[in-house]
Amino acid sequence: MTTSDVTGERYNLALVGVPNSGKTSLFNALTGSRQKVANYAGVTVERKSGGFVTPAGRQVTLLDLPGTYSLRGRSPDEIITRDVVLGKRAGEMPPDLVLCIADATNLRLTLRLILELKRTGRPLLMVLNMFDIAKRRGITIDVDAMSAALGIPVITSIAVKKGGADALRARTDEFAGHLPGPTAATEWVPTSIADLKAYQREADRIIRETVTMPTRPDSLTTRVDAVVLHPVGGLVILATILFVMFQAVFSWAAPLMELLSDSFGALGALVAQVLPEGLLQSFLQNGLIAGVGSVLVFLPQIIIIFLFILLLEDFGYMARAAFLMDRIMGGAGLHGRAFIPLLSSFACAIPGIMATRVIDNRRDRLTTILIAPLMTCSARIPVYTLIIAAFIPATDVWGWINLQGLVMFGLYVIGIASALAVSFVIKFFMLRDYQPAPFMLELPDYKLPRLKSIFIGVTTRAKMFLQRAGTTILSMMILIWFLASFPQPPAGAEGPAIDYSLAAMIGKALEPLFSAIGFNWQIVVALIPGMAAREVAVGALGTVYAIEGGKEAADAIGQALASKWSLATALSFLAWFVFAPQCASTLAVIRRETGGTKWMVITFVYMFALAYLASLITYKIAVAAGLG
Amino acid sequence: MRLGEAPRGFVGTIVALHQDAAGATSHELEQHLLEMGFTEGARVEILHQGAIRQDPIAVRVDNITIAVRRREAMAVLVK
């Protein structure tokens, strides 16, 4: 974990709780921005850790373990939680203290989990979270009696309030002072069905003795669910939410994107003024600023899409969406739980594929992984935006729907439809011997999203995007600039300089393969670095055309494309990117998650074939319609 | 009566988890159901159901709501 353990002053705390217990809010409140998201060694389970300093000056490391209902370890996520708590996970310090987070309004399953955890022998501390909501609903809890019945200390907390986190930090000091030494490896055996029943009986008894509940359930949740889970109305609402989300991605982000794009344009112009004409100027202006700038411009859209996903998750709507979609997706051979990973894939296929770990059935999980890259990820947004803005007029349909937004929505729909089709094919032709896996999901009470939590979540994702822009994308842009600039044209040569470059040679060599789908050699050049990250294709096109056409073209890649491409080529390009043989990082994640190259190769081949086929059909139809 | 056959609006109590209902994976299924709070004596109410073949169902189990397919709910005997 960290190297400062040598002083013995650093305490390791682990957060454990059932899903929806407010664990992540509490983690965010305790650690603030001091958190790190990484992976557990060898697996792609997200490892969230952070730190804080107690009033007495103790350094505390906090580990946010994946939510689980039991220590059974059904999915990779739950196995991590179990192994870390048991101190069996290599590379992780066994926690000095396990904080069990409990939603005070919903104690039944948490208390059973705590009874199960007690058997591991780790020091436990129960945190009654959302105590304020419980009070408001008329739930009274005798905290001391509960502590006595469970045999562990119990404290109350309100994760959202700043004071709540401060109080919890102060309490950590009290407990850290009298922690028993590291426990010896316990003889832990998996919980049997009889044990489970006994624990639940015990938990129910404790609840009866220490908690008084109001007779009526949360009326707000009941009322909202009557509408949101209505068999027909619910689906209409779900479709509306998704539609608004995609309109927002396209129209709300526009002013910010213009601002960013103008700033990068101005920066490029400034460089051109200050530096003498030559290689350095060309590298900074066309390679670095135009290339990286053209990708960074899409930050607002990525922020908006993650904002929507995180908000829906915090509201408690995601589980409802899975409920509504289970049967519909089941028709295509998908599990209802696949909905959340697939929705995350709209942001990026990598977290989406990682999120498939909530699906415990291997066949369901594999199908979801295979089709996740077909969900239109945010890296395709730059490509779509550029082409749509350049070729589709910004007129309104029926007075209020932006045509560009509508085309964007259409591209998303095509992605979803093909994902369902592919899943259907998999269901019928591969993996046939299969029993449908159970679908069981808690529908949590609705809660107002914690703004701070959302903010931290969005900034973490934005940071990851910027990091990518700073490393992968930057290096690809430098490579593209190099390929497009060397060798330099001979003195007195006619025509644009790029015609003499390595990029032109590669592009022209591969052009015959792609001419059938309307791609010119410039596009082919842009596709190659697009393998590293899809959005690079935009920057690469910018670089290719900037060097070919001079400064004016760099200011408006879109205009350059509109004048150089036919509509048929543009549509074919869009069709290509619906399937777009995906980025190298997605392929790497697939290999890691499926445990072999086989499925990675299958994914690449099938997506390449689909992309080529879709572009071919689009191009041929468009040309036949006179758009060539 | 099986929970999987109950109509929307049904209110009852869990009598037992029937192991044979779901075939080979019944042991695993029973454990899973138990973990989600489907224990003997728990009060259940079917709050909502899906559009296609009235599946899945949203079941109030004591004071939490669990979404479950009718197929798996067949393993839950209620009265």
Domain boundaries, chain A: 4-212
Range from A177-181, A326-330, A377-381 that averages highest in pLDDT? A326-330
Percentages of chain B per state (helix, strand, coil), in multiples of 5: 30, 35, 35
- Do A145 and A210 meet the contact criterion of CB atoms below 8 Å apart? yes
A204 contacts in B (CB within 8 Å)?
A: 39
Peptide bond preceding A529 in cis form (omega within 30 of 0): no
Does the distance separating the beta carbons of A108 and B53 come in below 8 Å?
A: no
How far off is chain B from A17, nearest CA to CA, in Å? 13
Cα separation, A182 vs A123, whole angstroms: 9
Q: Is the pLDDT of residue A549 over 80?
A: no
Q: Do B56 and A204 touch (CB under 8 A)?
A: no
Q: pLDDT tens digits for A141-159? A: 998 999 999 998 888 877 6
pLDDT at A160 over 80: no
Q: Which of the pair, A115 or A336, is modelled with greater confidence?
A: A115
Instruction: Answer whether residue A181 shows pLDDT above 60.
Output: no
Select from B39, B44, B55, B59 the residue whose CB has the most chain A CBs within 10 Å, as the one to mutate to test that interface: B39
Per-residue pLDDT, A591: 80
Give residue A551's pLDDT.
46
The pLDDT of residue A392: 83
Instruction: Give A73-86 pLDDT, tens digit per residue.
Output: 877 788 889 999 98
Residues A407 and A247: their CA atoms lie apart, in Å, by 10
Q: What is the pLDDT of residues A390-407, one digit of tens each?
A: 888 877 777 777 788 888
CB contact under 8 A, A327 and B58: no
Query: What percent of chain A has a predicted confidence (pLDDT) above 70?
Result: 86
Predicted confidence at residue A185, as pLDDT, reads 52
**Residue A231 in contact with residue B50, Cβ under 8 Å?**
yes
Q: For the residues A500-525, what does the mean pLDDT come to?
A: 84
How many percent of chain A have pLDDT more than 90?
Answer: 14
A198 lies within 8 A of chain B by CB: no
Q: Collect all residues of chain A within an 8 Å Cβ-Cβ radius of residue B13.
A: none
Domains assigned to chain B:
3-78 (2.30.30.90)
In this prediction, residues A18-35 reach a mean pLDDT of: 82
Q: Is the pLDDT of residue A40 over 80?
A: no
Q: Give the model's confidence band at A111: pLDDT under 50 very low, under 70 low, under 90 confident, else very high.
A: very high
Q: Which of A90-99, A114-123, A348-357, A448-457 bottoms out in mean pLDDT, i.e. has the lowest?
A: A348-357
Q: What are phi and psi of A394, to 5 degrees?
A: -85, 45
pLDDT in tens, A279-331: 787 777 767 777 677 667 777 877 887 888 888 888 889 889 889 988 888 87
Task: Average the pLDDT over A480-491 and give the result.
Answer: 75
Chain B interface disruption, residue of A137, A335, A358, A443, most B CBs within 10 A:
A443
pLDDT value of position A205: 93
> Which range has the worst mean pLDDT, A210-214, A483-487, A606-610?
A483-487
The residue with tokens 């910004």 is: A394
**What pLDDT sits at residue B61?**
92
Tens of pLDDT along A454-484? 888 888 878 877 776 677 667 777 777 787 7
Does the bond joining A300 to the residue before it have cis omega, within 30 degrees of 0?
no
Work out the mean pLDDT of chain A and round it to a whole number: 80
pLDDT of residue B12: 94
A222 vs B: CB within 8 A: yes
* Shortest CA gap B16–chain A (Å): 11
Whether pTM exceeds 0.90: no
The partner residues of B45 in beta bridges, in order of sequence, read B11, B60
What are the structure tokens assigned to A468, written together? Answer: 């990518």
Whole-angstrom Cα distance, residue A186 to residue A366?
Answer: 35
Q: Which long-range contacts (CB under 8 A, 24 or more apart) does A582-588 make?
A: A582/A349, A582/A373, A582/A534, A582/A607, A583/A379, A583/A530, A583/A531, A583/A532, A583/A533, A583/A534, A584/A531, A584/A532, A584/A533, A585/A350, A585/A472, A585/A532, A585/A533, A586/A349, A586/A350, A586/A353, A586/A373
pLDDT tens for A405-457 read 888 888 988 998 899 899 888 877 765 555 667 788 899 888 888 788 888 88
- Mind listing the pLDDT tens digit of every residue in chain B (79 residues)? 899 999 999 999 999 887 654 444 467 788 889 999 999 889 999 999 988 888 899 999 988 899 999 988 988 999 8
Looking at residue A101, the DSSP 8-state letter turns out to be: E
Instruction: Give residue A412's pLDDT.
Output: 86
Secondary structure string (H, E, C) spanning A522-568:
HHHHHHHHHCCCCCHHHHHHHHHHHHHHCHHHHHCHHHHHHHHCCHH
Predicted local distance difference test score (pLDDT) of residue A43: 62
Fold of A4-212: Rossmann fold (3.40.50)
Please indicate whether, in this complex, the C-beta atoms of A74 and B52 are within 8 angstroms of each other.
no
Positions of E strands within chain B = 11-17, 43-49, 57-61, 64-68, 76-78
Maximum mean pLDDT: which of A110-119, A173-182, A556-565:
A110-119
| Cβ–Cβ contact B53 with A under 8 A | yes
pLDDT of residue A6: 35
